[in-house]
Amino acid sequence: MKTMKRIILAALILSIPLVIESSLYAHCDTLDGPVVAAAKLAIQKGDITPVLKWVNKDGEKEVREAFSLTMKVRSQGEDAQRLADTFFFETLVRVHRSSEGVPYTGLKPAGSIEPVILAADKSLQQGSVDGLAGEVAKLIQEAIRARFAKAVESKKHADESVEAGRAYVEAYVDYIHFVEAMHSLAREKAGEQHQLHEVAAKQE
């Protein structure tokens, strides 16, 4: 089980540059994600409050109107309830994603959340992120070292032929872009203001 978890985390870390650009790891649009969970709670309580934290002020009016309509329609039978609930889920998720600057592509089925995202959510419930943070940090280090080793090795043969030179450039670009992506992500999310050249200076 531990090995499988490590493989899953490794696969995610190795694909982070692509994930960052495409937001493939987003889970707020899944039926078992936190946004829909809040929507279900709001419907159950008949109170919109639980969902308002998921939208900004610009989208609040639309969400309130959708909730009001949903609660009215739900009284017309089971089929009406399902249609009304889905309408509210879709509206809420669409408005939420719009506030994040990403397009709405429909509700995703339950069970489609990445395991590492589930682990991140679980860490919040447990009140500790030490285990997850340590594992992810270790995998990032391994990914950087692997790319570095490949770039160093291919550099030794870069002048032997055009093909070898291109192989080196490919390895070089992959290494540099990965490091840059990791640093940019950490700096953005942690609020740090360090620049890449500062990191390089500390290594000299």
pTM above 0.75, yes or no: no
User: Taking Cα atoms as reference points, which of 153, 122, 148 lies closest to residue 135?
Assistant: 122
User: Taking Cα atoms as reference points, which of 98, 108, 91 lies closest to residue 33?
Assistant: 108
d(CA 134, CA 142) in angstroms, rounded, equals 12
Identity of residue 190: A
Other beta carbons less than 10 A from residue 156's beta carbon: 10
Residue pLDDT, tens place only, 94-148: 999 888 888 888 888 877 667 777 777 778 878 888 888 888 888 899 999 999 9
Please identify every stretch of the chain with a pLDDT value under 50, giving residue numbers as ranges.
1-5, 7-25, 192-197, 199-201, 203-204
Q: What is the DSSP string of 35-84?
A: HHHHHHHHHHHT-SHHHHTTS-HHHHHHHHHHHHHHHHHGGG-HHHHHHH
The pLDDT of residue 109 is: 81
Other beta carbons less than 10 A from residue 122's beta carbon: 13
